[in-house]
Chain A
Amino acid sequence: MNRTSRTTRSNFRIRYWLLASSLLMTLGTSNTLWAQSPNPSDWASVVQKAHDQALYFYTWGGDQQTNDYLVWVAQRVAEEYSIRMTHVRLSDTADAVSRILAEKQAGNTDRGAVDLLWLNGENFANLKNNDLLFGPWAEQLPNFALVNADANPGVRVDFTVPVDGYESPWLRAHLVFYYDSAYVDSPPANVAALLAWARQYPGEFTYPRPPDFLGTTFLKQALLELTDDPDPLYRPVNESNFSTITAPLWGFLDALHPLLLRQGRTFPANGPELRRLVADGEIALAFSFNPTEAVNSVIRNELPESVRTHVPDRGALANVSFVGIPLNASHKAAAMVTANFLLSVPAQLRAQDPQHLGGTPVIDVGTLSPAEQAQFAASRQSHPAAPPLMTASQPLQEPHPSWIDALEQAWLTRYGSR
């Protein structure tokens, strides 16, 4: 799910370690022990090797549903594969990236603390570019076939960066608006229409302040809708035309901010705080990168029954989140077996079930047996707050990771201190 992209803020740490360590005597980095790494093509030996292994699975731990889901995963991999999984909950995935970097700088090549990491976007790009990921392994997993990657090429690209088998897909996510129908009749059709909507309902909307990932997501979605030519957004950011391309965005925000909650004088910190504002009745419109967040929250009594979900009609930012194995992971076999389990039909079915995780499966349900398809259809949400299904033309692809930082800095310069 999208929340991993919170994790995406970790490039810095990689480089920081490089420089910090150069100041503190770097120990030589020895060659990686490829010979001892399990070979994913020989799956039976991987499973055998994973037997009775420990596994440290690091994820962002801010979501109780995900944490509960992973308790179940730990039980299942213990029963089926005798893997002793420990779920390590982080407030920010970047903390795990720091750890991996520190270990590499200290010459730890085969006994790393992190075995499996939930990540995507910037984090993945940085780990991959710095040769900190084990792989390629993901496409050799037996269950990777369920993803039907040839028909769903999106699982082979992570924020425009080719995955190349260095991380295994887990869940899908895309941007949706949710609104409280007790206070407003209808949501804005899209971000561009938000301005007119906010004039009608002043103080009923706000967004998390960048560089929070959801706040930055709002900027990206708005820019994709407002720009005439999105092509440059899929290439590394170019300083010469940055201001031209982003000019419509700033004009839009300048007009929008006085119409936000607290007249844009302060912004919520993150997505959960945004949801709290809806729950408290402070605002009537919010957005999430988890399409079923509103349904899940209504079921858990965290949001009122009158909440409804809306997908922006000009397309919604969409991405896939993945699990990756650090190059120096201690238990690579157990990590691969668990990644494979996450892609299995029972695991993906439970991930979709709003009683448990309420996410969007990454496997291609259309390729499953009719009986399994029926199971997925049965657990699909028919709740009034559920989002309509995405049509094929609706997903907007994530821009190149370099745009994230450029947009955040420009926002902070314009609005970060007044």
Chain B
Amino acid sequence: MLRAAPWLMFGLLIMPVLAGLTAIVLPAFGYLPALQQTEPGLMVWRELLNTPGIGRSAALSLSAGLLTPLLSLLLVMLFLASTSGTRWAHAMRRLVAPLLAVPHAAAAFGLAFLIAPSGFALRLLSPELTGWQRPPDLLILNDPLGLAMMLGLVLKEIPFLLLMALAALPQLNPDQRVTMARTLGYRPILAWLWTVAPALYPLLRLPLFAVIAFASATVDVALILGPTLPPPLSVRIIGWFSDPDLNRRLLASAAALLQLAITLSAIGLWIVAEKMIARLYRKLLLGGIRLSGHALLNVAGKSLMVITLGALLLSLLLLVIHAFAGPWRFPANLPGSWTSQHWLSVGSVLLAPLSNTLLLGLMSTVLAVLLVVAALEHESRQGKATTRLLWAIYIPLLVPQVAFLYGLTLLLEQLRWQPGLLLVGFAHSLFVVPYVYLSLAEPYRRLDPRWQQLSATLGASPNRTWWQIKLPMLMAPIATACAVGLAVSIGQYLATLLTGAGRVSTLTTEAVALASGGTRSTIAVWALLQSAVPMLGFVLAITLPRFWWRNRRDMRGQLT
């Protein structure tokens, strides 16, 4: 049974993607019988390369895919270094998990209103300081270099990386390492950077690759904050897949493969850079730098994180304000009046989407956690990592969703499976499993094997060991993985829509449908509802282990 788990996972994740992908590979090379295109060749690729601005689009995707993880990683590392062992970091960390629950689109929307020419920041300054009675004609959002888009991505990826880092840190005994380095005369931050960071980084690699994949292929954040003339490649693919001209389907298929290549080369470039930086890092480390730059690192680490998380929190606060705002014109700092009307209009249609969202999240998360735990336990009993096989589970995260979901829907329809909750839950698990795996694999593998050995020497069977030793010890990371899975399930739009035939409405399908035409206030209400459910999941993931282990301090998990 356990032996089947990795293969089951492999099949569940790979088959749908492969089936969906076959529908784009052949068209990308000009083979399309329905279009009387039966001579394979590179025509489509030539057309793609001649598309105006395609180089810019590709470069935007690639640079977003590299700069977003780089900036996020630097900020997270600096923050952890400058707050290691301090108390106020503790309070800050509590914020992080719930922030992870905020959907990308909602955060981007809040950020847009914060920094836009008519946004909150300039409203605070106007007209007193600037003299502006009307918004200035400045190009801040949708800037051609994609800076606003990358800022939005960094804001959202930092909580994710921070959470992953905080979950991995305790296994490294950072306090002991820092103490050790300090006895050698290193100041605390440098001690952390030289001794903990190199050990922490390998545990963050897979989450970083997920960030690279997401940032290089983002659609929703790019639509709200990204450049438009031309947009990043992912946005153009969506446009071509929805173009009335049949021949653009070929173009879209080729572009989807190009997107895949860009995402993979971003990861490849990252790995190359890793090697070079590792060498440099070793040289610096061996140089024995003990004192210099400490104050700067200290200030930078704390203040940059305060600014980023502050901007994210402010963006969310702006969503809350909008959800209750009456008319609110530039340059007023706050709405002229308050109303609950936006919430009342939602009340009449809330029940079905809410219950569907919860059911789907529960279903896909339970399935994912069972599969992932079984696969990890199998791996641990085999004593060797089936990493190569498990790499495959990242494929749903690396292949652009538009590319394979249409083909998948067609397949399901041919199998005559009635669209419904079950099918949508299955589709969600395509994306839930990788993230659950991502958040659970490292804690699971890093669990000290001596517990297992000790239990075996006392005569316990592997199953009993798992049930009585490993499961209780891993309860906190499993709870976190569940919360992550729930958040991922709630965020699914395209998968829900296509496999559910539109009949399965969730908070996200409602939010996205309204976002295409709603006012700020309506969007804010749905975005808050959409954030509230996964936030509740994270709160439970934090409090349940603490409650369960209220008498076992070290078992409470690493979340807080």
Q: A99-B501, A106-B414, A405-B245 are in contact. Are A416 and B513 (CB under 8 A)?
A: no
Taken residue by residue from 386 to 418, chain A's Cβ proximity to chain B (1 for < 8 Å, 0 otherwise) reads as 000000000000000000110001001101111
Taken residue by residue from 56 to 69, chain A's Cβ proximity to chain B (1 for < 8 Å, 0 otherwise) reads as 10101111100110
Q: Report if B434 contacts A (CB, 8 A).
A: no
Q: Report if B294 contacts A (CB, 8 A).
A: no
Contact, CB under 8 Å: B407 / A95: no
Q: Cβ of A62: which chain B residues have Cβ within 8 Å of it?
A: 513-518
Q: Report if B1 contacts A (CB, 8 A).
A: no
The residue in chain A whose Cβ has the minimal distance to the Cβ of B230 is A417
Q: Cβ of A405: which chain B residues have Cβ within 8 Å of it?
A: 243-245
Instruction: Report the separation of the CA atoms of residues A58 and B227 in the bound assembly, to the nearest whole angstrom.
Output: 32
The residue in chain A whose Cβ has the minimal distance to the Cβ of B245 is A405
Contact, CB under 8 Å: A17 / B410: yes
Shortest C-beta distance, B324 to chain A (Å), equals 13
Q: Report if A23 contacts B (CB, 8 A).
A: yes
Taken residue by residue from 121 to 156, chain B's Cβ proximity to chain A (1 for < 8 Å, 0 otherwise) reads as 000000000000011011101101000000000000
Q: Report if A302 contacts B (CB, 8 A).
A: yes
Shortest C-beta distance, A79 to chain B (Å), equals 17
Taken residue by residue from 436 to 450, chain B's Cβ proximity to chain A (1 for < 8 Å, 0 otherwise) reads as 000000000000000
Which residues of chain B from 208 to 235 have a CB within 8 Å of any chain A CB? 223, 227-230
Q: Cβ of B348: which chain A residues have Cβ within 8 Å of it?
A: 68, 71
Cβ-neighbour of B345 out of A15, A64, A262 (below 8 A):
A64
Contact, CB under 8 Å: B517 / A10: no
Cβ-neighbour of A122 out of B19, B244, B407 (below 8 A):
B244
Q: A15-B249, A102-B410 are in contact. Are A89 and B517 (CB under 8 A)?
A: no
Instruction: Report the separation of the CA atoms of residues A280 and B329 in the bound assembly, to the nearest whole angstrom.
Output: 6
Q: Report if A113 contacts B (CB, 8 A).
A: yes
Q: A266-B139, A417-B230 are in contact. Are A113 and B34 (CB under 8 A)?
A: no
Contact, CB under 8 Å: A265 / B139: yes
The residue in chain A whose Cβ has the minimal distance to the Cβ of B23 is A20
Cβ-neighbour of B249 out of A8, A12, A102, A209 (below 8 A):
A12
Contact, CB under 8 Å: A267 / B414: no
Interface centre among B53, B142, B345, B501 (most CB of A within 10 A): B501
Q: Report if B520 contacts A (CB, 8 A).
A: yes
Q: Cβ of B61: which chain A residues have Cβ within 8 Å of it?
A: none
Q: Cβ of B419: which chain A residues have Cβ within 8 Å of it?
A: 113
Contact, CB under 8 Å: A19 / B35: yes
Contact, CB under 8 Å: B413 / A417: no
The residue in chain A whose Cβ has the minimal distance to the Cβ of B516 is A62
Contact, CB under 8 Å: B52 / A105: no
Stretch of B76-84, B174-182, B472-480, B503-511 at the chain-chain interface: B503-511
Q: A56-B503, A271-B517 are in contact. Are A262 and B139 (CB under 8 A)?
A: yes
Q: Cβ of B142: which chain A residues have Cβ within 8 Å of it?
A: 266
Contact, CB under 8 Å: B137 / A261: yes
Which residues of chain B from 295 to 313 have a CB within 8 Å of any chain A CB? none
Cβ-neighbour of A280 out of B33, B118, B414, B514 (below 8 A):
B118
Q: Report if B365 contacts A (CB, 8 A).
A: no
Contact, CB under 8 Å: B410 / A21: yes
Shortest C-beta distance, A121 to chain B (Å), equals 10
Q: Cβ of B230: which chain A residues have Cβ within 8 Å of it?
A: 416-417
Cβ-neighbour of A61 out of B242, B245, B514 (below 8 A):
B514
Q: Report if B452 contacts A (CB, 8 A).
A: no
Q: Cβ of A15: which chain B residues have Cβ within 8 Å of it?
A: 34-35, 246, 249
The residue in chain A whose Cβ has the minimal distance to the Cβ of B134 is A281
The residue in chain A whose Cβ has the minimal distance to the Cβ of B51 is A417
Instruction: Report the separation of the CA atoms of residues A10 and B26 in the bound assembly, to the nearest whole angstrom.
Output: 22
Q: Cβ of B23: which chain A residues have Cβ within 8 Å of it?
A: 20, 23-24
Contact, CB under 8 Å: A211 / B239: yes
Q: Cβ of B246: which chain A residues have Cβ within 8 Å of it?
A: 11-12, 15-16
Taken residue by residue from 25 to 36, chain B's Cβ proximity to chain A (1 for < 8 Å, 0 otherwise) reads as 011000011110
Cβ-neighbour of B414 out of A27, A56, A86, A416 (below 8 A):
A27
The residue in chain A whose Cβ has the minimal distance to the Cβ of B411 is A24
Q: Report if B538 contacts A (CB, 8 A).
A: no
Shortest C-beta distance, B506 to chain A (Å), equals 11
Cβ-neighbour of A269 out of B33, B116, B223 (below 8 A):
B223
Contact, CB under 8 Å: B519 / A24: no
Contact, CB under 8 Å: A281 / B330: yes
Contact, CB under 8 Å: A16 / B330: no
Contact, CB under 8 Å: B513 / A302: no
Contact, CB under 8 Å: A282 / B414: no
Which residues of chain A from 87 to 119 have a CB within 8 Å of any chain B CB? 88-92, 94-96, 98-99, 102-103, 105-108, 113-114
Contact, CB under 8 Å: B407 / A3: no
Contact, CB under 8 Å: A105 / B410: yes
Which residues of chain A from 158 to 198 have a CB within 8 Å of any chain B CB? 183
Shortest C-beta distance, A404 to chain B (Å), equals 7
Q: Report if B512 contacts A (CB, 8 A).
A: yes
Q: A27-B414, A89-B513, A90-B513 are in contact. Are A416 and B406 (CB under 8 A)?
A: no
Shortest C-beta distance, B237 to chain A (Å), equals 13
Shortest C-beta distance, A252 to chain B (Å), equals 19
Instruction: Report the separation of the CA atoms of residues A244 and B522 in the bound assembly, to the nearest whole angstrom.
Output: 45
Which residues of chain B from 380 to 394 have a CB within 8 Å of any chain A CB? none
Interface centre among A3, A67, A304, A405 (most CB of B within 10 A): A67
Q: Report if A383 contacts B (CB, 8 A).
A: no
Q: Cβ of A280: which chain B residues have Cβ within 8 Å of it?
A: 116, 118, 135, 329-330
Q: Report if B326 contacts A (CB, 8 A).
A: yes
Instruction: Report the separation of the CA atoms of residues A16 and B248 in the bound assembly, to the nearest whole angstrom.
Output: 10
Contact, CB under 8 Å: B249 / A16: yes
Which residues of chain A from 22 to 62 have a CB within 8 Å of any chain B CB? 22-25, 27, 56, 58, 60-62
Q: Report if B192 contacts A (CB, 8 A).
A: no
Contact, CB under 8 Å: B517 / A60: yes
Q: Report if A272 contacts B (CB, 8 A).
A: yes
Shortest C-beta distance, A47 to chain B (Å), equals 25
Contact, CB under 8 Å: B406 / A113: no
Q: Report if B536 contacts A (CB, 8 A).
A: no
Q: A20-B23, A23-B22, A265-B144 are in contact. Are A270 and B517 (CB under 8 A)?
A: yes
Instruction: Report the separation of the CA atoms of residues A98 and B19 in the bound assembly, to the nearest whole angstrom.
Output: 18
Instruction: Report the separation of the CA atoms of residues A22 and B32 in the bound assembly, to the nearest whole angstrom.
Output: 9
Taken residue by residue from 479 to 519, chain B's Cβ proximity to chain A (1 for < 8 Å, 0 otherwise) reads as 00000000000000000011001110100011011111111
Q: Report if B409 contacts A (CB, 8 A).
A: yes
Cβ-neighbour of B19 out of A24, A209, A301 (below 8 A):
A24
Cβ-neighbour of B497 out of A95, A103, A266, A276 (below 8 A):
A95
Contact, CB under 8 Å: A19 / B139: no
Contact, CB under 8 Å: B414 / A25: yes
Q: Report if B46 contacts A (CB, 8 A).
A: no
Q: Cβ of A279: which chain B residues have Cβ within 8 Å of it?
A: 329
Interface centre among A56, A102, A267 (most CB of B within 10 A): A102
Q: Cβ of A312: which chain B residues have Cβ within 8 Å of it?
A: none
Instruction: Report the separation of the CA atoms of residues A319 and B273 in the bound assembly, to the nearest whole angstrom.
Output: 57
Instruction: Report the separation of the CA atoms of residues A27 and B522 in the bound assembly, to the nearest whole angstrom.
Output: 43
Q: Report if B56 contacts A (CB, 8 A).
A: yes
Q: Cβ of B118: which chain A residues have Cβ within 8 Å of it?
A: 280-282
Taken residue by residue from 322 to 362, chain B's Cβ proximity to chain A (1 for < 8 Å, 0 otherwise) reads as 00001101100000000000000100110000000000000
Q: Report if B416 contacts A (CB, 8 A).
A: yes
Instruction: Report the separation of the CA atoms of residues A22 and B22 in the bound assembly, to the nearest whole angstrom.
Output: 11
Instruction: Report the separation of the CA atoms of residues A260 and B349 in the bound assembly, to the nearest whole angstrom.
Output: 39
Instruction: Report the separation of the CA atoms of residues A64 and B345 in the bound assembly, to the nearest whole angstrom.
Output: 8
6 residue pairs A–B, Cβ–Cβ below 8 Å: A62-B515, A95-B498, A113-B502, A266-B227, A269-B228, A304-B329
| Known pairs A16-B246, A62-B516, A265-B139 / 4 extra A-B pairs, C-beta < 8 Å | A91-B509, A271-B517, A405-B243, A417-B229
The 8 closest A-B pairs by CB, nearest first: A417-B53, A62-B517, A61-B513, A280-B118, A19-B34, A113-B501, A417-B230, A106-B413
Instruction: Please give the residue numbers on chain B whose beta carbons come within 8 Å of chain A beta carbons, in ascending order.
Output: 19, 22-23, 26-27, 32-35, 52-53, 56-57, 116-118, 134-135, 137-139, 141-142, 144, 223, 227-230, 239, 241-246, 248-249, 326-327, 329-330, 345, 348-349, 406-407, 409-411, 413-414, 416, 419, 497-498, 501-503, 505, 509-510, 512-520, 522
